[in-house]
Amino acid sequence: MTRPEAPADAGRDLRSRYTASDLGVFTCDEASRFVPQGDGDPQTDVVLAWELLYRLEPGLYDRLASAERLHPGVVDWLPRGVDRIAEVGAGTGRLTMELIEHGQHVVAVEPALPMRRILRRKLAEAGHGDRVRVVRGFFAQLPLPDDSAGLVVACSAFTPSPGHGGEDGLAEMERVCRPGGWVVIIWPNHLDWLAARGYRHVSFPGPMSVEFGSCDEAVELAEIFYPKAAGEVRRRGRRDVPFEVLGINPPRDLACKVLSR
């Protein structure tokens, strides 16, 4: 049974929103990946706090992801006319809705049930339910055949850590990609780690801002996700906030590899 979303409390940042008592929301598979020792404290482990956010307050996450728009050059760069695209860690569809224009069919893999529900609803509302198949799966165990996609992509989801990609996750993405196809990591961290595994870095220039729905939403979400910048966001009084004000790298980068085997 899925726990209902907790009400958003704009006065609490992400680390303080959840406690160890919330870990029961994880399925057995999720717990084995995110709390393998059977315990954890989201108030000291921000990665764990994000995983709880995805399951307890997916609508709150979707509001943030909708504001953090990708650089248009990233989307334009992706190959077009691909017969099948596999997206790993699809979330609530930040990239999925864009991929529809690049391929005949998209398989969106997302482990968190509440996120899959939001994504399916968005696709149905946009009339794309027949173009995208949303499935449950993890980086290290993708429910897809070998050599089944011409483009395998992850956006703001892959990291070198085993629970969120790592060596096994990268190997799975490459297993699913057919020879001559592309494996692409969008908005990557640890570029050196990817470069050591044959991935090329591509970046697109120009100013970028997080485009919140209103000034009030900018302050509310900054207090939760960028608490150190919340005062400056409030002082500026604008709905659009440059990424540098928030202290994070903008989503202008990707790491890519053409698979040859």
CA-based end-to-end distance of the chain: 43
Can you give the pLDDT of all 261 residues of the chain as single tens digits?
233 333 334 447 998 999 999 999 999 999 999 999 888 999 999 999 999 999 999 999 999 999 999 999 999 999 999 999 999 999 999 999 999 999 999 999 999 999 999 999 999 999 998 899 999 999 999 999 999 999 999 999 999 998 899 999 999 999 999 999 999 999 998 999 999 999 999 999 999 999 999 999 999 999 999 999 999 999 999 999 999 999 999 999 999 999 986
Residue pLDDT, tens place only, 219-257: 999 999 999 999 999 999 999 999 999 999 999 999 999
Answering whether pTM is above 0.75, one says yes
